[in-house]
Amino acid sequence: MRLVLCSVALIFACLFVYETMSNFSVTVSTEITNWGLSFRENGKAPVGNATAKALKEFDAYYVGNDDEKIIYLTFDAGYENGYTEKILDTLKKHDVRAAFFLVGHYIEEEPMLVKRMVEEGHIVGNHTFNHPDMSKISDKESFRKELTSLDELYKQVTGQDIAKYYRPPQGKFNEQNLAMAKELGYKTIFWSLAYADWYNDKQPTKEQAFSKLLPRIHPGAVLLLHSTSKTNSEILDELLTNYEEAGYTFKTLDDLTADS
């Protein structure tokens, strides 16, 4: 089934800087796009540049059902910036299980934090080994290697198999990527709410963060935050409290993919 692409009103790009661990030979595929969202009404799910129905054909998701006030909390981490312990402490305080999408550099450099994520019931997902633009990888072996190299490293560190959830770096994808991920047994996870929290030298204020994260929350939200963000580490306790007081509960990606 072909994805029906709408005009992109808002594009969220997750920018990570770190040393590449290995070089893969790739060829360029066509129909490259960026995951994008259009927020049309506060409290309602945004419109993606691919529909939830079309994405599901590829075992891909960006939002849950709109009939329950449920949030699926996810974090992306290309490197450790000193804030993950505080974030994990806050999640533990609120008894919230999140998903952390990690890259090879992170798992190599922060094995104890990765183990803590696992021990405290969080899902660790695949953000690729090297964080490349996956939409430019068209040959199956290069695509597979980016994912399985991360899986293998994760098992070396934790002794467990990684959850088969994949988030494309920077939200860059195409149909061929989604099909290859599905063929490899992965579910692709996009998001329905995020904000510009990834610039270390331009961190948003609490007020700026809340101006996006509070009015735009919606039933079935897949919320993307970056654990590299100082602001996120400082506001997370209050943010989760606000959501809880508004009647929201938190579920995991296992629930999202089972219920959607």
Four-CA torsion 170, 204, 105, 103, nearest 10 degrees: -40
Instruction: Check if 226 is active-site.
Output: yes
Burial class (CB in 10 A: 0-12, 13-18, 19+), 253: buried
Q: Looking at 59, 66, 76, 94, which residue is catalytic? A: 76
Say whether 76 is catalytic.
yes
Residues designated catalytic = 76, 226
